[in-house]
A and B are shown apart, each in its own frame.
Chain A
Amino acid sequence: MASDITRLGVDVKWQDLTLGCTIVGRGTSESFNTGEWRTDTPLFILEKCKQCLLCAPACPDSAIPVENGKRGEFDLDHCKGCGICEKACPFDAIKMLKGER
Chain B
Amino acid sequence: MAIKERLSGNEAVANAMRQINPDVMPAYPITPSTEIPQYFTTFVSNGQVDTVFVPVESEHSAMSACIGSEAAGARTITATSSAGLALMWEVLNVAASDRLPICLALVNRALSGPININCDHSDAMGARNTGWIQLFAENNQEAYDNMVQAYRIAEHPDVMLPIIVCQDGFITSHAVENITLLEDQVVKDFVGEYEPEHYLLKDGESIAYGPYAVTNYVMEARRAQMQGLRNAKQVCIDIGKEFGQISGREYGLFEEYRMEDAEYAMVIMGSAAGTAKDAVDALRDKGVKAGILKIRLFRPFPAEEIAEALKDVKYLAIMDRTEDFETNCGPLGSEIKSALFNKNLRPLTLNYCYGLGGRDVTVESLTSVFEDLFEVEKTGDLGEVYRYLSVRE
User: Do A14 and B198 contact each other (CB < 8 Å), given the known contacts A19-B99, A21-B211?
Assistant: no
A32 to chain B: closest CB distance in Å?
12
A23 contacts B100, C-beta separation under 8 Å:
no
For residue B206, CB closer than 8 A to chain A, the reply is: yes
For residue B224, CB closer than 8 A to chain A, the reply is: yes
Interface string of B286-302 (1 = CB under 8 A from A): 00000000000000000
| B100, B160, B206: the one within 8 Å of A26 (CB) | B206
For residue B217, CB closer than 8 A to chain A, the reply is: yes
Query: What does DSSP make chain A's interface, helix, strand, loop or mixed?
Result: loop
The range of chain A's interface size is 10 to 19
B220 contacts A12, C-beta separation under 8 Å:
yes
B217 contacts A20, C-beta separation under 8 Å:
no
A17 contacts B207, C-beta separation under 8 Å:
no
Within 8 A of A (CB), among B207-257: 207-211, 213, 216-217, 219-221, 223-225, 227
A85 to B263, CA, bound (A): 79
Interface string of A11-33 (1 = CB under 8 A from B): 01111010111111110000000
For residue B23, CB closer than 8 A to chain A, the reply is: no
B220 contacts A14, C-beta separation under 8 Å:
yes
A95 to B264, CA, bound (A): 84
Residue of A nearest to B98 (CB): A20
B210 contacts A21, C-beta separation under 8 Å:
yes
B206 contacts A24, C-beta separation under 8 Å:
yes
A24 to B200, CA, bound (A): 10
A21 to chain B: closest CB distance in Å?
5
For residue A2, CB closer than 8 A to chain B, the reply is: yes
For residue B189, CB closer than 8 A to chain A, the reply is: no
A24 to B208, CA, bound (A): 6
A23 to chain B: closest CB distance in Å?
4
For residue B97, CB closer than 8 A to chain A, the reply is: yes
A36 to chain B: closest CB distance in Å?
16
For residue A3, CB closer than 8 A to chain B, the reply is: yes
| B205, B220, B224, B225: the one within 8 Å of A24 (CB) | B205
For residue B197, CB closer than 8 A to chain A, the reply is: yes
Residues of B contacting A3 in the complex (Cβ-Cβ under 8 angstroms): 197-198
Residues of B contacting A21 in the complex (Cβ-Cβ under 8 angstroms): 97, 210-211, 213, 217, 221
| B160, B197, B209, B217: the one within 8 Å of A17 (CB) | B217
A15 to B210, CA, bound (A): 18
A2 to B225, CA, bound (A): 12
B207 contacts A20, C-beta separation under 8 Å:
no
Specify which of B197, B208, B227 lies most central, judged by the most chain A CB atoms within 10 Å of its CB: B208
B224 contacts A22, C-beta separation under 8 Å:
no
B: residues with CB less than 8 A from A are 97-100, 160, 197-198, 205-211, 213, 216-217, 219-221, 223-225, 227
Could you name 22 residue pairs across A and B whose Cβ atoms are closer than 8 Å?
A10-B216, A12-B217, A12-B220, A14-B219, A14-B223, A14-B224, A14-B227, A17-B217, A17-B220, A17-B221, A17-B224, A19-B160, A20-B98, A20-B100, A21-B217, A21-B221, A22-B198, A22-B207, A22-B208, A23-B211, A25-B205, A26-B206
